[in-house]
Structure 1
């Protein structure tokens, strides 16, 4: 099970709404999820088989994970999803590639959503946030296959480690559903800061989270400090058929 609250069983396609949002033509896409890491050595670049042979690119199978009970339809296309919610600033660079070629996919839609610093999701009456859309949004990948979001470091709630939900669409179809995770040591440091420090110590860490134990280590974000907070990056791959 994903969340401690009852799961909301939903359909597996958003073709109609996403075609309206993104203007994408419908396509036939495989539902295999992958993760990708690109070496960022100074003065080196490339993609495809040659880059794989040179050690610049590796493609690694990434586990599919449940969307959870707090997915919503028709998220807005926007880069800044904060809507004024307090928390440590987080810049998220989410890449998408074709795993058969290790080349980036421009024009894919990346949809993210996560809880705020207090562990609350937007858009649900049971959370007291009906009508709100904070910490939700969609971005289209650029010519390098990268979508960039401005958000905050997520908080926690009972039964789950800290995470961000993500979906990737190509041609209007879902090609990956996953969750992105944070190193526990870094989360400990962040949670010593306000507003996170106003809450009790979190109850679930990565090793004790049932979903994280099912491949979550392959969906860990790579994080670095920046001027205002943290920068996170990950690249997810899909197999097009």
Structure 2
């Protein structure tokens, strides 16, 4: 009976964190009381993104079949450790879920595609893409770099959570504009491209649709940034409503990299593995 009575409270806590406007500030935004509440509920951060299942792929996703924590490869940039915790609506951790992430490098380049507007053809490459499986606490970690930017999008990281072969959660993680601007203007190789002008968090419609909770909590460490986000499974999820977070293709989701379609084909959903590595 005690567990049943606690569920509405834990659900309200999770939903409250997801809707909190102070999450957008990212760095040191939450008061100590909120962090204490999150810790008591078993959450790694008060930054919570409630995500809806969908059956479509995210923009320019492909599965390089690489189960690895460190996805950096040869990319230059500020090191970042990204922690994602998958929980259900009652704040209970989801163990054994597969988590994929992918993002552009410091110069706005995605692996696996020919990037138009530059002389860079990254087809056949796999940098800044990888897979991990959540532990008993629902947490997985990736070692990567702080993402760059490209025209038409604010700074972001794509992710997918596979609960089984057909249930997929797709969304994006966003970062504080103040930190992004500092890095893009002051730190190589981010500052080699000139000033970011066209799209910030406030003018990116995908960031708006994803909601306040989709912004990562950022902590500056001695030699890297620590980023964390709780991915909550929405209790009334509907795949027809999930396109805003994940996108449905080039030209409609605002999510394509600065390139064409000359990249890997999307895998047959029936071949997706869950959990852990293929084979």
Same-fold call, TM > 0.5?
yes
Quote the residue 1:98 is aligned against.
Answer: 88
Distance 1:208 1:239 in 2: 25
Q: TM-score, normalised by structure 2?
A: 0.63
Quote the residue 2:140 is aligned against.
Answer: 147
Quote the residue 1:199 is aligned against.
Answer: 193
Secondary structure (helix, strand or coil) at the match of 2:212 reads helix
Moved over 6 A (4+): 34-38, 56-60, 63-66
User: Are the counterparts in 1 of residues 49 and 229 from structure 2 also a CA contact under 8 Å?
Assistant: no
Distance 1:68 1:133 in 2: 17
- Structure with bigger strand share is 1
User: Are the counterparts in 2 of residues 97 and 235 from structure 1 also a CA contact under 8 Å?
Assistant: yes
Distance 1:75 1:209 in 2: 30
Compute the displacement of 1:229 (Å): 1.9
Match of 1:107 among 84, 96, 117: 96
User: Are the counterparts in 2 of residues 79 and 148 from structure 1 also a CA contact under 8 Å?
Assistant: yes
Compute the displacement of 1:180 (Å): 0.4
Distance 2:47 2:130 in 1: 28
Compute the displacement of 1:57 (Å): 7.7
CA RMSD of superposed structures (Å): 3.0
Match of 2:206 among 211, 214, 226: 211
Q: TM-score, normalised by structure 1?
A: 0.73
Count of aligned pairs between the two proteins: 199
User: Are the counterparts in 2 of residues 63 and 215 from structure 1 also a CA contact under 8 Å?
Assistant: no
Structure 1: where are the runs of 5+ without partners?
Answer: 1-33
Match of 1:116 among 93, 105, 111: 105
Structure 2: where are the runs of 5+ without partners?
Answer: 1-14, 19-32, 237-279
Cα 1:144–1:35 change in 2 (3 A) is farther
Compute the displacement of 1:240 (Å): 7.5
Quote the residue 1:177 is aligned against.
Answer: 170
- Structure with bigger helix share is 2
Distance 1:97 1:206 in 2: 26
Deviations 1:21-69 (A, max 9, x none): xxxxxxxxxxxxx896795439x6445xxx9xxxx98976447798553
User: Are the counterparts in 2 of residues 64 and 178 from structure 1 also a CA contact under 8 Å?
Assistant: no
Distance 1:198 1:217 in 2: 30
Residue correspondence of structure 1 range 7-156 to structure 2 within 5 A: 40-41=35-36, 45-47=40-42, 61-62=50-51, 68-99=58-89, 101-126=90-115, 128-156=121-149
Deviates more, 1:134-143 or 1:172-181: 172-181
Cα 1:207–1:148 change in 2 (3 A) is same
Quote the residue 1:189 is aligned against.
Answer: 182
Secondary structure (helix, strand or coil) at the match of 1:125 reads coil
Quote the residue 1:12 is aligned against.
Answer: none
